[in-house]
């Protein structure tokens, strides 16, 4: 798949995920605080949505950065190295973010008491 196609597909996915995010997090009656975040991250559906959101953000950001950098003539010889660097950064960031989302544990209620 060509990079510009990946950029366009991820842009459409981000439009969908950003709409969901804005409605659920920022608009009443869904205004969210930390207790609702805990409830939301306890549900597998929301973990899946957050992981998919992370995936498309990384795809969009790294393909965009790659295209901007490789548009410059002086980086033309390093194109393949830059592509692999973007892939490695994306995989590491996706792994770290996914592990963080999946391993999120709500604080114990007694630990929150003064």
Token duo for residue 13: 């996915």
Q: Cα separation of 49 and 37, whole Å? A: 13
Q: Which long-range contacts (CB under 8 A, 24 or more apart) does 36-45 make?
A: 38/106, 38/107, 41/101, 41/104, 41/106, 42/106
The residues of the chain scoring below 50 in pLDDT are none
Q: Cα separation of 103 and 106, whole Å? A: 10
Where do the structural domains in the chain lie, given as residue ranges? 3-105
pLDDT at position 41 is 84
pLDDT at position 108 is 66
CA angle 83, 7, 101 (to 5 degrees): 85
pLDDT at position 53 is 94
What would be the CATH architecture of the domain defined by 3-105?
Up-down Bundle (1.20)
């Amino acid at each position: 798949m060509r990079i510009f196609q990946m950029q366009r597909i991820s842009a459409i996915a981000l439009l969908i995920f950003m709409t969901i995010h804005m409605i659920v997090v920022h608009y009443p009656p869904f205004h969210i605080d930390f207790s609702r975040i805990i409830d939301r991250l306890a549900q597998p559906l929301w973990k899946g949505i957050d992981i998919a959101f992370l995936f498309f953000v990384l795809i969009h950001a790294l393909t965009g950065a790659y295209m901007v950098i490789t548009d410059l003539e002086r980086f033309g010889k390093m194109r393949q190295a830059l592509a692999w660097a973007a892939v490695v950064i994306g995989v590491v960031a996706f792994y770290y973010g996914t592990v963080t989302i999946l391993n999120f544990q709500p604080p114990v209620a007694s630990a929150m008491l003064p």
